[in-house]
Structure 1
Amino acid sequence: MQARYLVVAGACLTQFTIIGLMFSFGLFFKVFEAEYGWSRTLMSAASALSFLAMGVLGMIGGRLNDRFGPTRVLAVTGVLYGLGFALLSQVSQPWQLFAICGSFIGLGLSTHDVVTLSTVARWFEGRRGIMTAVVKVGTAVGQVTVPPVAALMISGMGWQPAVMVMGGGAVVLLVFAALIMKSPPVRTGLSEQATAPAAGASFAEARRSRVLWTLCAVQFCFFSALMTVPLHLPIHGMDLGMSPAAAATLLSVVGGASVAGRLAVGRLADVIGGRRAFALCFVVLIAGLGGLTGLTVPWLLFTAVAVYGFAHGALFVVVSPTVAEYFGMRAHGAIFGTVLFCGTLGGAVGPILTGMVFDRSDSYLPAFVTLTGMAVLALLLVLSLPRPDAAPLATAEGAAS
């Protein structure tokens, strides 16, 4: 197998493990409510803290990947992520939950996207969209398979042994994945020189561009939904009368539909470009969030969740290739990390406010309406972007890919 396809396999396994466990976190809300009397606002705040830490540390992780490559970065953060999940079995006070989410889990989340997707983008200049989609299919498989398995483990062995087993398994899988992730040599002419600079804008040049800050604002708007819906979806389903196993299946529907979204939009981004693919993603996202807002019958809710899931998967695919189109690969990790950081600000606020809204109104309706409005704003911002080949910082390398 060629080295670059091993890299794709390692990136898939990293995504599978990190996101599979993250999606399972919402299953513990009922456990913590029953055992400790913690509110959903409190638990949402702990989860949001991990997202905020992901964004802050992701900027650092992107720079470290640009400099040192993915293996060492992913190995260290993978061990810490698995350890963090195992330590959840020992929590009994809110401050312990916040400490674990803000450190161990935040560190693991911080590199799973920026390092894996930036590395894959470097290996596949001409097929960034579809190969990013292949990597993010690993995410979808994790979303589909891990939450139901976690639910069965919780019911079969208790939540504390279950979370310890999940954490230990994560360490093994993430370290193995890190060992097969390598940076590509940079080609100059017919020779390969690892020290040659890649084409594109520097981070300082990108920072002065309106395009970068527009992409950051777009990420802020839609990431709120992408972090809020999976976290609150299982317990929302249980509020509507679903069993815990059926509520976990909602997450599996998100994961299954996201596979189609990732592959379809990954290929589409290679053909029509990231800007247009972005716009199409938001049309679907608005439809899915609108369905979540208006539907309360469980079987109809599955339909809305499937539409949302398509957009959920697609939006995770389209960002990295779009950054490469506008700015090239010279500082892709740092630029991509900055965009993700702005997204995690929204991802941190969204779950907290949603939990607060439910605790005060006993309904998720106001939160879903707000998320739909933010998706509309994101669509308008994307439509305001220039074509990549017309942008001042567009490069021949970025346009060709």
Structure 2
Amino acid sequence: MTELQHQNNSQAYMVAVSGTVINLCLGVLYAWSVFSKELQDQLGMTATETSLPYSVAIALFAFFMVPAGIMLDRLGPRLLLLLSGFLIGIGFVIAGLTLNVVGLVIGFGIVAGAAMGFGYAAPTPVAAKWFKPHLRGTITGIVVSGYGLAAVYVSPLADYLIQGFGVANAFYYLGAFFTILIVIASMFMKSPPEGWKPVGGEPPKPKIKANGEQEKEVVRKDYSPGEMMKTFQFWSLWVMYAFSASAGLIIIGHVAKIAQTQGGLETGFLFAALLAIGNAGGRIVTGAVSDKIGRSATLILVFILQAINMFAFITYTSGPMLTFGAIVTGATYGALLALFPATTWDWFGLKNSGTNYGLMFTAWGVGGLVGPLMAGRIIDATGGYDMVYIVSAILLLVAAGLGFITKAPKVEYVEEDVDDKVASL
């Protein structure tokens, strides 16, 4: 191995580590239930009111993933990450200064939500380009695990700051901390040089039989955003993503209150942390598993497990049961954030990875906007969560059904022979 190759290998691992650190900051979204509980208990807000900033943050997060993906493909990651770092600090200051529904929607929902979109768009596709494609699920799982794992430390830290210094100061301190860490980590993020050989070497190229003749080596064709959106597979994946993400985000946004309501427990921040552990673990494990058994099979398995867990949540009324439910929710939800980007890049190529996954990620935003708001209204109307669990479980079974009928696109491969022909599979 040459010295340059060795240095670039080190850079590849640094990119993965830096991306994980950035996601450890942006994952504050998953600690919202700690703020939500205190806003209800201390300031008398309703479940619908405290769901609104969270849902708006999810929607803006997803919305800004599209322009962020375009910027990433054209300008590289650092500008996006600097913008993300400064915006999240500004958003948290606005939230702390106001402490009302409008201010929280603007600060946490709009400004911090935009910061999450700009910041989340960069680390994973950039890291994926440094490593060999047939480990894409594993690398994606590791980098995005930071986002899921964030609540492990943010939830107890936020609870400590709220109890010791008040809700407003908790927003200020966390905002400053995230800004500093994201800006520092952004200095280590860059795309690989042209002609870079991914760490570990290229995987074997697929082979096909053209017109019944001998097998020929081929290279997969990349889809443009427009080509991708014309396929049935894109829209089927989009619906699956929306339904499955909605279920997980409902529990994430309400887990502290669920622990209080169903279990009589006042340690909701611990359940947020447990959920985050499952979230991070699910991303890593299912990313690696999908590299072995395939993305579609893994997605179907995850949807079914999610549905069973949502139906069972009605019966979770003790600490151990809620612990089990939180970990399963985290693991199955976290799996989505590893499987859907990897599936998008497998099926539609890496050339336009930022833009293409940004478009796919809008499903997560729609699910996160509609699901928690729907849940808040049902909870305010019925005084409980049972109907929320049932509706979410039914949508997850629909997603599993779509998974069974949706196969990879009938993609084109470019043959590597003298005639440079295109063979279609």
Provide the residue aligned with 2:360 in structure 1: 339
1:46 correspondence with 2:53:
yes
Find the structure with the greater CA-based Rg.
2
Mapped partners of 2:114, 2:301: distance in 1: 32
Structure 1 runs, 4 residues or longer, greater than 6 Å off = none
Provide the residue aligned with 1:193 in structure 2: none
Counterparts of 1:221-370 in structure 2 under 5 Å? 221-244=243-266, 246-370=267-391
- Show CA shifts across 1:201-244 (max 9, x none): 11121111111111111111111112211111111111235444
Kindly state the Cα deviation for residue 360 of structure 1 after the two structures are TM-superposed. Answer: 0.9
Kindly state the Cα deviation for residue 56 of structure 1 after the two structures are TM-superposed. Answer: 1.4
Mapped partners of 1:149, 1:242: distance in 2: 22
Residues 345 and 163 of structure 1, relative CA distance in 2, 3 Å threshold: same
Provide the residue aligned with 1:194 in structure 2: none
Provide the residue aligned with 1:173 in structure 2: 181
Paired residue type of 2:262: L
Mapped partners of 1:338, 1:65: distance in 2: 13
Counterparts of 1:90-109 in structure 2 under 5 Å? 90-109=97-116
- Show CA shifts across 1:174-195 (max 9, x none): 11121111112342899xxxxx
Does structure 2 retain, via aligned residues, the 8 Å contact 1:292–1:305? no
Instruction: Answer 1 or 2: which has greater helix percent.
Output: 1
- Compare relative contact order (CA 8 Å, sep 6+) and give the higher one, 1 or 2: 1
Kindly state the Cα deviation for residue 280 of structure 1 after the two structures are TM-superposed. Answer: 1.8
Does structure 2 retain, via aligned residues, the 8 Å contact 1:287–1:307? no
Aligned residue pair count: 385
Mapped partners of 1:90, 1:307: distance in 2: 36
Does structure 1 retain, via aligned residues, the 8 Å contact 2:29–2:54? no
Does structure 2 retain, via aligned residues, the 8 Å contact 1:53–1:106? yes
Provide the residue aligned with 2:139 in structure 1: 131
- Show CA shifts across 1:53-75 (max 9, x none): 11211111111111111111111
- Show CA shifts across 1:37-96 (max 9, x none): 321111212211111111211111111111111111111022101221232111143222
TM-score where L is the length of structure 2: 0.86
Instruction: Report the secondary structure of 2:145's partner residue.
Output: helix
Provide the residue aligned with 2:233 in structure 1: 211
Provide the residue aligned with 2:397 in structure 1: 376
Provide the residue aligned with 1:60 in structure 2: 67
Deviates more, 1:256-265 or 1:42-51: 256-265
1:3 correspondence with 2:11:
yes
Residues 353 and 34 of structure 1, relative CA distance in 2, 3 Å threshold: same
Kindly state the Cα deviation for residue 130 of structure 1 after the two structures are TM-superposed. Answer: 0.6
Residues 92 and 138 of structure 1, relative CA distance in 2, 3 Å threshold: closer
Kindly state the Cα deviation for residue 363 of structure 1 after the two structures are TM-superposed. Answer: 0.2
- Gaps spanning 5+ residues in structure 1: where? 191-197
RMSD between aligned alpha carbons? Answer: 2.1
Paired residue type of 2:372: P
1:141 correspondence with 2:141:
no
Paired residue type of 2:142: V
Q: Percent identity?
A: 22
Mapped partners of 1:134, 1:181: distance in 2: 16
Instruction: Report the secondary structure of 1:126's partner residue.
Output: helix
From 411, 414, 419, the equivalent of 1:393 is 411
TM-score where L is the length of structure 1: 0.90
Provide the residue aligned with 1:28 in structure 2: 35
Does structure 1 retain, via aligned residues, the 8 Å contact 2:96–2:172? yes
